[in-house]
C-alpha cells in the first residue's frame, strides 16, 4: 500500500508518495518551481487564491506520477498538511467567495485586541489558551465587518487543508486541532467557544463537522480520481496544520519533545500535557495532532513570520542569479558577527512574539567601505537565528526547556552556517532528519487509515542524519546581545 501526502505551503505545493510498510519515500514533486505569489492589496495584507492551491495540488500529483517510480493505483490513503490560520469561505455550492486571508495577514490585529478585552484576558487565556489575536476567527470577523455581502453568502468556513480535502471528496470536515488554531476552541469545556462565537456574532452553522485528525474525512470523487489517475473512493484520512504535521513527521508527540522549522516563517513547536499559555500571548498553544479529551497533548508554538522569506528577499534583491547553496558558501567566508552588520528579520506582518507589532526589517551598522553582499547574507541568517533565540527565551519563561530540537534538513536548515548560528545562539543541540511536510502528511494518512496501530509505530524507521552540538569555540554571545539591544530600542 502506498500513501499520498500533500503539503499546501505558502510558496508551493509539495507531494510525496510513501511506501506504508518501509516508510520510505517513493517519489516527491513540487509545483510550481517558482514561488507562488502572495497578493497584498494593502500594506500588511496577505492573500492567496484557494483555486490556485487546488490547481497546483493537481499539477504536483501528476508530476509525481510522471516519475514512474510507483503505480498510482496502489495509493490507498491521502493525508494533507497545510499553512495554518488561513481563512477560506465557500457558499452552499462549495464555490470560493473570496481569496483566502492567509497566516501572515495583519488586518485583523485590532479586531482581535478588542475581542481580547471584551471577552476578558483571564477568560481568553484560561479557556482559549491564547488571545483571539490575528487568527482565523478574527479574520472572519474582519470579513463580517468590511465585506458583509460576502459574509452573508458563506455556508462554511475552513482552513486551507480542509478546502483541498473538499475539492477531492466533496465533504467538509474540521478537527479540534484545526479549530484551536483558528481560536474557536474552548479547552476548559472541550467545545466550540461560546465566548468567541457570541462576541463576533458568528452562526454555529459556519463550522464544519468535527472529526478526529486521524479519521475518514471523505472519499475521493470519481471525476477527481479519473483526472489524477487515482482509485475512486480512497479516503482522506489525515489533515493537520503544517507545524503540528512537521512535529508529527519528526516523531514529536510526547511532552517535552520539540521540533523546529525555518521555511517562509520560522517555528519552534514543543509538546505539553498541560493547558498552558503565555500571559502575553506571544507564543501560542493549540491542540496537537494526538490531542484527545482524555489525553491532552498540546503544541506550544513560537512563530517568527520573517525567516526564510527574508533569506529569499536578500537573495532576490542582491544576487537573483545564484543558488541558495552558492549564497551560503559566500556567507560562510565572512567571520561570525558579519563584521558588525546586524539584521532584524521582522518584515512579514505582525509578529506575535513582539505583541503583534509590525516593525519591519532593519539593517544596522552598514559600513559602505567594508560590507559586501556576503556580509548581508551572513547577517540575515544570523539575525534569523537571533530571532529564534529571542522566541525560545519566551518559551523558557513558560516552562518549555528543550534539551534537543529536531528539524528536517530543509529550507534554512540546509545551510550549515544557519545551523551553526542557530545551535550556538540558542545553546540547544539540533538533530537533523531527512523528512518534510509532505512525507509527514503521507505517514499521517497511514495512521488515519489504520496501517499503523499507533503514531509511534509509524516512525520506527526514522533516524537522525546528524546531531549538531553547540561549539564553545564559536562565540555568538556578543552577536546576540547586540542584536537584542537593537530590538529592545525599537520596542521601547
On the question of pLDDT at 460 being above 90, the answer is no
Q: pLDDT (tens digit, 9 = 90+) per residue, 132-161? A: 999 999 999 999 999 999 999 999 999 999
Q: Domain range for residue 182?
A: 2-245
Whether residue 307 lies inside any domain: the answer is: no
Q: pLDDT (tens digit, 9 = 90+) per residue, 265-309? A: 999 999 999 998 999 989 999 999 999 988 999 999 999 999 999
User: Which helix (H) or strand (E) segment is 408 a member of?
Assistant: strand 405-408
**Model-level pTM greater than 0.85?**
yes
Number of domains in the chain: 1
Whether residue 45 lies inside any domain: the answer is: yes
On the question of pLDDT at 244 being above 90, the answer is yes
Nearest-angstrom CA–CA distance, 377 and 118: 44
For residue 301, give the 3-state DSSP assignment: strand
Whether residue 172 lies inside any domain: the answer is: yes
Question: Residue 158: which CATH number?
Answer: 3.30.420.40
**Contact yes or no for 253/321 (Cβ under 8 A):** no
Over residues 454-462, the mean pLDDT reads 85
Whether residue 240 lies inside any domain: the answer is: yes
Class of residue 224 by CB neighbours under 10 A (exposed 0-12, middle 13-18, buried 19+) = middle
Whether residue 406 lies inside any domain: the answer is: no
Q: Where are the alpha helices (DSSP H) in 250-323?
A: 308-318
Q: pLDDT (tens digit, 9 = 90+) per residue, 373-382? A: 999 999 999 9
Nearest-angstrom CA–CA distance, 270 and 258: 4
Whether residue 430 lies inside any domain: the answer is: no
Nearest-angstrom CA–CA distance, 349 and 359: 8
Whether residue 391 lies inside any domain: the answer is: no
* Residues with Cβ within 8 Å of residue 439, at least 6 apart in sequence: 5, 16, 18, 25, 28, 249
Q: Between 373-397 and 324-332, two packed helices, what is the crossing angle to 10 degrees?
A: 90
Class of residue 408 by CB neighbours under 10 A (exposed 0-12, middle 13-18, buried 19+) = buried
Whether residue 437 lies inside any domain: the answer is: no
Q: How far is CA 158 from CA 38, 73, 192, 367, in A?
A: 19, 29, 14, 49
Q: pLDDT (tens digit, 9 = 90+) per residue, 163-209? A: 999 999 999 999 999 999 999 999 999 999 999 999 999 999 999 99
Amino acid at each position: 500500500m502506498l500513501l499520498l501526502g500533500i503539503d499546501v505551503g505558502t510558496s508551493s505545493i509539495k507531494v510525496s508518495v510513501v511506501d506504508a510498510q518501509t516508510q520510505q519515500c517513493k517519489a516527491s514533486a513540487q509545483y510550481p518551481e517558482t514561488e507562488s505569489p502572495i497578493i497584498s492589496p494593502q500594506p500588511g495584507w496577505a492573500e492567496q487564491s484557494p483555486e490556485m492551491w487546488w490547481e497546483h495540488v493537481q499539477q504536483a500529483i501528476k508530476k509525481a506520477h510522471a516519475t514512474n517510480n510507483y503505480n498510482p493505483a496502489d495509493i490507498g490513503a491521502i493525508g494533507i498538511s497545510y499553512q495554518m490560520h488561513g481563512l477560506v469561505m465557500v457558499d452552499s455550492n462549495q464555490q470560493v467567495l473570496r481569496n483566502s486571508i492567509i497566516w501572515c495577514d495583519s488586518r485583523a490585529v485590532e479586531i482581535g485586541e478588542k475581542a481580547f478585552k471584551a471577552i476578558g484576558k483571564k477568560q481568553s487565556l484560561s479557556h482559549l489558551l491564547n488571545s483571539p489575536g490575528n487568527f482565523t476567527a478574527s479574520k472572519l470577523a474582519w470579513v463580517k465587518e468590511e465585506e458583509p455581502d460576502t459574509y452573508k453568502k458563506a455556508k462554511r468556513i475552513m482552513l486551507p487543508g480542509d478546502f483541498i480535502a473538499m475539492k477531492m471528496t466533496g465533504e467538509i470536515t474540521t478537527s479540534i486541532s484545526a479549530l484551536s488554531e483558528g481560536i474557536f476552541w474552548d479547552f476548559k469545556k472541550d467545545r466550540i467557544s461560546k465566548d468567541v462565537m457570541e462576541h463576533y456574532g458568528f452562526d454555529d452553522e459556519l463550522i464544519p463537522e468535527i472529526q478526529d485528525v486521524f479519521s475518514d474525512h471523505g472519499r475521493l470523487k470519481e471525476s477527481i480520481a479519473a483526472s489524477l489517475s487515482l482509485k475512486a473512493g480512497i479516503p482522506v484520512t489525515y489533515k493537520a496544520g503544517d507545524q503540528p504535521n512537521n512535529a508529527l513527521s519528526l516523531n514529536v508527540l510526547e511532552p517535552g519533545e520539540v521540533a523546529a522549522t525555518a521555511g517562509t516563517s520560522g517555528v519552534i513547536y514543543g509538546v505539553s500535557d498541560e493547558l498552558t499559555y503565555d500571559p502575553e500571548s506571544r507564543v501560542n498553544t493549540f491542540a496537537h495532532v494526538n490531542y484527545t479529551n482524555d489525553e491532552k497533548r498540546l503544541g506550544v508554538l513560537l512563530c517568527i513570520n520573517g525567516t526564510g522569506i527574508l533569506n529569499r528577499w536578500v537573495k532576490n534583491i542582491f544576487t537573483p542569479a545564484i543558488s541558495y547553496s552558492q549564497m551560503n558558501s559566500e556567507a560562510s567566508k565572512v567571520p561570525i558577527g558579519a563584521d558588525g552588520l546586524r539584521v532584524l528579520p521582522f518584515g512579514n506582518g505582525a509578529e506575535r512574539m513582539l505583541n503583534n507589532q509590525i516593525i519591519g526589517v532593519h539593517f544596522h551598522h552598514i559600513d559602505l567601505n567594508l560590507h559586501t553582499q556576503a556580509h548581508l547574507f551572513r547577517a540575515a541568517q544570523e539575525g534569523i537565528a537571533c530571532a529564534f533565540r529571542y522566541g525560545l527565551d519566551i518559551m523558557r519563561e513558560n516552562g518549555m526547556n528543550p534539551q534537543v530540537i529536531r528539524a528536517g534538513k530543509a529550507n534554512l536548515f540546509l545551510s550549515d552556517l544557519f545551523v551553526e548560528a542557530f545551535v550556538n545562539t540558542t545553546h540547544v543541540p539540533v538533530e537533523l532528519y531527512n523528512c518534510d511536510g509532505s512525507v509527514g502528511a503521507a505517514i499521517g494518512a497511514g495512521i488515519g487509515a489504520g496501517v499503523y496501530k499507533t503514531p509511534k509505530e509509524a516512525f520506527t524507521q526514522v533516524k537522525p542524519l546528524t546531531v549538531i552540538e553547540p561549539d564553545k569555540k564559536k562565540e555568538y554571545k556578543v552577536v546576540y546581545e547586540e542584536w537584542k539591544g537593537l530590538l529592545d530600542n525599537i520596542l521601547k
